Structure 1
Amino acid sequence: MEMQVWASLFGVILGGLLSYLAQFTTVRLAARNEEKRQAAQRAEARRSERLELLREFIAITQAGIRIAEERDQAPDWDAAGTPEWFAAARNIIDRLWVAERMIEVLFSPQMYQLARAYASAVDHVLWRLPEQIAAEGSMWDHLRGPQHEFLAGARTDVGSLP
């Protein structure tokens, strides 16, 4: 009879130990799964944030190009530089440099260098003078290289996002 008591006691201890191990493993597995889920959510949020920043940067550069083109194609270059034009140009450039700095924060140094070169090219064509226009030619010649390099870098960078 004493052997039955010890066997029962051993069974209870073994059952309790196995139950504890099962619960411990389940809790650990659940915690790991939750960490993975949260990491995936953070990565997706970061990806969305980066894509939105790229959209904003591209839209701002396009607005800068558009306003530079309006002034370049105006029949009277001096008359095209109205106070409203200067205010719009300053606003675009301010927004462009803010977006460029945000790219520095959220993207790789290589992507930032491409964004900086493109923003500098847009800044240059926006503020160039008539004698610079005559010497440099089309603003598209000045923009084409930095624009294509930036877009190719963005395509590569976005493709590698988690």
Structure 2
Amino acid sequence: MPAMSGQVWVSLISLGGVVLGGSLSYLVQHRTQLSAERAEQRRQRISLSEARRAERLALLERFVEVAAEAERSAFSRPSEWDDTHDWFLTTRDVMNRLWVAERLIRIQFPLPVHDAARAYFLDLNRTVWEGLPDGDSVRDYLEDNRLAFLDAARAVME
């Protein structure tokens, strides 16, 4: 009987080793899987963040480009024009694109950036369609709000 009892103990110890090894293996695999999932989530967050940054940068580029076209329209504003004049037709398209770009800034950026873009847009709109009093400089009139917009955008993009 003592020999059989030894065999039972050996079997139980062996079974215990298998259970312990299996448990440790499960824990290691579970931890590895969780770590891999966290790494994948982090990679996806970084990828999404980079994509949003690129989208914002493209939107800023679009707004600045169209605003520059609008400024050129303000500089070349004829003293008299009507709704068939080439300047009006070109400028109307530019101002429509600027209006859309300004609205997209509101969607993609915090309100301080949009507020600065809006103030710049309103100054441009006023300058393009109404002109400035004689002796006033278009560049000087637009400078403060243009720089405020660019500074606000830069602060968000850092």
Match of 2:151 in 1: 152
Give the aligned partner of residue 128 of structure 2: 126
Alignment of 1:29-108 (within 5 A): 29-71=35-77, 77-78=79-80, 83-108=85-110
In the TM superposition, residue 37 of structure 1 has moved relative to its aligned partner by: 0.3
AA partner of residue 130 (structure 2): R
Contact kept, 8 Å, 2:113 with 2:153, in 1: the verdict is: yes
CA distance in 1, matches of 2:81, 2:152: 38
Structure 1 segments of 4+ aligned residues over 6 angstroms from their partners: none
Tell me the secondary structure at the aligned position of residue 78 of structure 1: coil
2:83, 2:89 within 8 Å by CA — same for their partners in 1? no
What letter corresponds to residue 20 of structure 1 in structure 2? Y
Q: CA deviation at 1:82?
A: 5.6
Question: Which amino acid in the other structure matches residue 93 of structure 1?
Answer: M
Report percent identity of matched pairs: 37
| Separation of aligned partners in 2, 1:23 and 1:87 | 67
In the superposition, the TM-score normalised over structure 2's length comes to 0.90
The offset of 1:137, in angstroms, is: 1.6
Structure ID, larger Rg = 2
Count, aligned residues: 152
Residues 143 and 81 (structure 1 numbering): CA distance in 2 closer, same or farther, change over 3 Å? farther
Give per-residue Cα distances to partners, 1:124-154, cap 9 Å, x unaligned.
Answer: 111114xx422x7222232011011111111
Which ranges in structure 1 are unaligned for 5 or more consecutive residues? none
Q: Separation in 2 of the partners of 1:93 and 1:105?
A: 19
Q: TM-score, normalised by structure 1?
A: 0.88
Instruction: Note if 1:5 corresponds to 2:11.
Output: yes
RMSD over equivalenced CA pairs, Å: 1.7
The AA in structure 2 aligned to 1:19 is S
